Chain A
Amino acid sequence: MTTKVLIVDDELAIRDSLGRKLRREGFAVTLAGSGLEGLRAFHTERPDLVILDIVMPEMDGLTVCQRIREVAETPVMMLSAQAVTEEDIIEGLNAGADEYLVKPIRLNEFVARIQALLRRAQMSGSETETGYNDGYLSIDLQRRHVYVDGQKIHLTPTEFKLLVVLLENAGRVVPQRDLLEQVWGPEYIDDVYYPRVYISQLRRKIEPDAANPIYILTEHRVGYRFEKQNNV
């Protein structure tokens, strides 16, 4: 089955050139010239991956990403020329993107990143462990379901993968670089802001009080540690 990719960018030359490259690599590509057009295409085409420019007229990429996250966990890749500081990238990731690329990017690397992201998203819960349940937080590794206080919550593929890696190492500190390597892949080893953003999102979703976490604890300047709880 052909993988469908939606490219949203207001620059015709960019979406055209990127689209051509992806088609050559065997992807089915849909192009959209604005945020609104992109959202419509998302709903009609149901792509496997979305590539979003950030600065666009009418509706920017961050908003498009948030709209998509409201309804789906489809992997989203930001592709922006705007990133100057780390805060810009974190802002993009906070909007729900799984990946943030900075223009200009070489086409081969672009394709490699797309493939890595797709791999991450398609990763099946192959672990034999049944998961974790302390009454408040329950993680079903087989079905990839997470319940908090009895309510099912939605985690993006990256968030879920992050949670799984931390759970596998429960009680031990996972260094940032190990986390990056295991969750995102070896080529992400230096993108230290990824874990920071995802950990805070995870905390918002699973912790009773995100400001005073009990499950995911920070080991300052080293990494993160998942702590199992007996009674919450």
Chain B
Amino acid sequence: MTANIIVLLLNGLTLALALGLLFLILWQDPNSETNRYFSLFLLMVVIWSSGSLLARSAAYVGAGQGATQTGLRLLDVGFAGASISLYVYSAVLTGFQGRMFRLLSLAGLVVVLSYQVLLLVSKSPRPYDVTSQGVLQYGFGTPVVILYLVFLLSTSWLVWRNRQKIRGRTLLLGILLFCGGLIAGLLSPRLRMLGVAEDVSAVAALMMSYAVVRQQIMVPLLGKARQLEAVRDVGLAITSRLRLDETLSTIAAQAAGLLGADGVAIFLKCDTYLELAAVHSLPPQYMGIRIPMGEGVVGTVALERRGRRVDNYRRDWAGRPDLPLARETFGAVISVPLMFADEVVGVLLGIQGRQGQLFDREDMHLLELLGPQAAVAITNSRLFEAERDLSTDLEVAKNQLETVLTSTENPVVAIDREMRIIFANPAAVYLLEADINPVGWRIIDFVPGSYLPPDRRRAFRDLRQQRVHVYEIEAQGKTYLCHLAELSKPRTEGWVVVLNDVTQLKELDRLKSQMVQMTSHDLKNPLQAAMSYIELLQDDGRDTFTPDMSYYIDNVWTQLTRMYRIISGILDLERVQSGTPAFENCALDDILQRVVSEASDQAQSKGLQLELAIAGELPLVAGDMQQLMQALANLVENAVKFTPAGGRVVVEARGDEQGVMVDVVDTGVGIRVEDQSKIFERFYRGQQQGVVHVGGSGLGLSLVRAIVNSHKGEIGLESEPGKGTAFHVWLPAARGR
């Protein structure tokens, strides 16, 4: 009696709740296929429950047979519908069915229901009993029982087999319980009489409804919140400028949490391969593993630029395993490319263990949301790291440079365009006798005028021509050679001057000059005496000397004059190098004419052709006429000296606004290539093939170069042994008056 009342109450409650949940689910998403099938199932449960309630209540209160019959018919319709629709729902849920299956199942449902409705309409009686306590007793026909059992057992088998695919244990348990309750009610009349089947199934239906509502409404709502949180965390990771490895770890952890994955790996793309850069819940030893593009799940994803899911790694993935022991340990995997600006920057791989859940489309959707954020974060971190590396490198380079500049004994000062000091090393500060940091001060406030370039106009000209301006200053009893150059060409940011202490060099140079002078003086006096006596001897012995004696005397004279030439050469060189030439306007054509006419005797006596060709009018050259004449005479005499009889020496000159070019071209013995670079060195004498007894000091060409250099000119040569030599001398034109 009491049991019957409880059954009735439970039935009523179940009905109300199931109705409520039906509306909730339909309201949530009427287009979802599973929702529709579940609603159908719930509708059937409602019909069944209401039928049961009607029949039992009618029996209990002793109402007419019609009401009880109607209740039992409804119960039958609901029972059949619930069994079949549950099977269809389970099949849809586990993805077991094909299109035809669904059609066939629905057709079966329609047939069974139509039959029951037909029975209801035709009012053919349904056998039942009512006990003395008013409890309803009813049975099922054997074929119907078999039909129900087939559906219920199939459903149980289906969901158990595919239990991994069913989200939420409650749903799985509900379906199995529902089936169990129905089977029990079918098989045991006593349990049926007690209404246990209805009760268990009603509770199971409630569990299922709860699971569906949870999964369809609550979990997505929670998921949305977590997605937002994940996106926010990734955003934070970007803005907080974490290091790349920290950023990756953060992303991996968030992905793992979002997916409920057992492990997450993030690969970064480097050239043609992917390198494992971050792991979550995976062995850290995996870090650094490389997978070529196109291989493994991640390589394929990176190449196809599309996400992938694999339900069973061992069964479904035939390609190269992504990580060690992947086949043995991985269950389902999910992988998405991380794209930034249409470029794959990496790949994210989510992994479940062998017993873990499968990944579904929702997971893919989540990752697709996370992917771009992660890609931005990775790119950002990479840029940030690159920038930090660069700035570190710059800092290091700056420190090194500063250390060099600080430790050098050479004063270095840099100024900006406003002539303010932007750098002064300790040596410079010491030299300036500054007791405060001179940086920021105007140079004229801080540096004595005598330290600045004495010839400003020339300094600016040199700097304008992208050259270094060199000048000398005296400071604190020392002599400094200053090299002034522009900072950062082509647009001048300022200037830098580096000072070299040349005091000792100067002193050495002075000592050298002094020694040369003393030596020359000491040598010249005996030379004068010896030469004078030889001349006297030649005068006296003109008539009395034997040919041998004359020959000896002549040879002594030749050697003395050679010695004299060497001494003069050294002195000339010294004079040119130590003094600035006395500048006057020199007409090179006059000089060349005199030089050529002076050498013509020698050329004639050697049987050479000596020609002078001056093209047009030559500009005047600022210089020391004596020195220029000596330089050109040396070149012409050299040419004559090294050209064999029958040869030709041509002196050519041509000028333009910039200067005068003089070429001295001979058909002489030439200069070997290995000698050409040394020919201007002091005392260097090339090996001239086939030329013997050519007297000389080995100083002629070094004097020529010294003179040309002191006139800011240039000298060069072309030569081919056996063919001849051409010396080119260029001298700058004098600038106005």
B-binding residues in A (CB < 8 A): 11, 13-14, 17-18, 20-21, 24, 55, 81-82, 84-87, 103-108, 176, 190, 192-193, 220-222
Chain A residues closer than 8 Å to B539, beta-carbon distance: 24
Q: Are A86 and B585 in contact (CB under 8 A)?
A: no
Q: How far is the CB of B509 from chain A (nearest CB, A)?
A: 14
Q: A84-B571, A85-B575, A192-B625 are in contact. Are A21 and B524 (CB under 8 A)?
A: no
Q: Quick one: closest A residue to B567, CB to CB?
A: A104
Q: Are A221 and B575 in contact (CB under 8 A)?
A: no
How many A-B pairs with Cβ below 8 Å?
76
Pick the contact of B529 from A17, A82, A176, A193 — CB < 8 Å?
A17
Q: Are B626 and A84 in contact (CB under 8 A)?
A: no
Q: Are A17 and B536 in contact (CB under 8 A)?
A: yes
Interface string of B269-281 (1 = CB under 8 A from A): 0000000000000
Residue tally, chain B, CB below 8 Å to A: 31
Q: How far is the CB of A201 from chain B (nearest CB, A)?
A: 18
Q: Write 9 A-B pairs (CB below 8 A) sorted by A numbering.
A: A14-B528, A21-B535, A84-B520, A103-B525, A104-B532, A107-B532, A107-B536, A108-B535, A192-B582
Q: Give complex CA distance A108, B531 in Å.
A: 12
Q: A106-B535, A107-B536, A192-B626 are in contact. Are A220 and B737 (CB under 8 A)?
A: yes
Q: Are B525 and A11 in contact (CB under 8 A)?
A: yes
Q: Are A104 and B536 in contact (CB under 8 A)?
A: no
Q: Quick one: closest A residue to B560, CB to CB?
A: A104
Q: Give complex CA distance A13, B535 in Å.
A: 13
Q: How far is the CB of A114 from chain B (nearest CB, A)?
A: 14
Chain A residues closer than 8 Å to B525, beta-carbon distance: 11, 14, 81, 103
Q: Are A103 and B527 in contact (CB under 8 A)?
A: yes
Is B533 positioned at the interface, with any CB of A under 8 Å from its CB? yes
Q: Are A81 and B737 in contact (CB under 8 A)?
A: no
Chain B residues closer than 8 Å to A87, beta-carbon distance: 579
Interface string of B485-529 (1 = CB under 8 A from A): 000000000000000000000000000010011001100111111
Q: Quick one: closest A residue to B514, CB to CB?
A: A84
Q: Give complex CA distance A43, B575 in Å.
A: 37
Interface string of B13-33 (1 = CB under 8 A from A): 000000000000000000000
Pick the contact of B524 from A18, A104, A190 — CB < 8 Å?
A104
Say whether chain B's binding surface is mostly helix, strand, loop, or mixed: helix
A-binding residues in B (CB < 8 A): 513, 516-517, 520-521, 524-529, 531-533, 535-536, 539, 564, 571, 574-575, 578-579, 582-585, 625-626, 629, 737
Q: Give complex CA distance A24, B536 in Å.
A: 10
Q: Quick one: closest B residue to A19, CB to CB?
A: B532
Q: A86-B582, A104-B564 are in contact. Are A55 and B521 (CB under 8 A)?
A: yes
Chain B residues closer than 8 Å to A222, beta-carbon distance: 585
Q: A104-B531, A104-B564, A221-B584 are in contact. Are A84 and B536 (CB under 8 A)?
A: no
Q: Give complex CA distance A82, B521 in Å.
A: 5
Chain A residues closer than 8 Å to B585, beta-carbon distance: 221-222
Chain B residues closer than 8 Å to A176, beta-carbon distance: 584
Closest 8 CB pairs of A and B: A17-B532, A13-B529, A81-B524, A104-B528, A103-B528, A221-B584, A81-B521, A107-B535
Q: Are A14 and B536 in contact (CB under 8 A)?
A: no
Chain B residues closer than 8 Å to A18, beta-carbon distance: 532
Q: Give complex CA distance A17, B527 in Å.
A: 12
Q: Give complex CA distance A108, B536 in Å.
A: 10
Q: A86-B579, A220-B737 are in contact. Are A14 and B529 (CB under 8 A)?
A: yes
Q: A14-B525, A84-B571 are in contact. Are A21 and B532 (CB under 8 A)?
A: yes
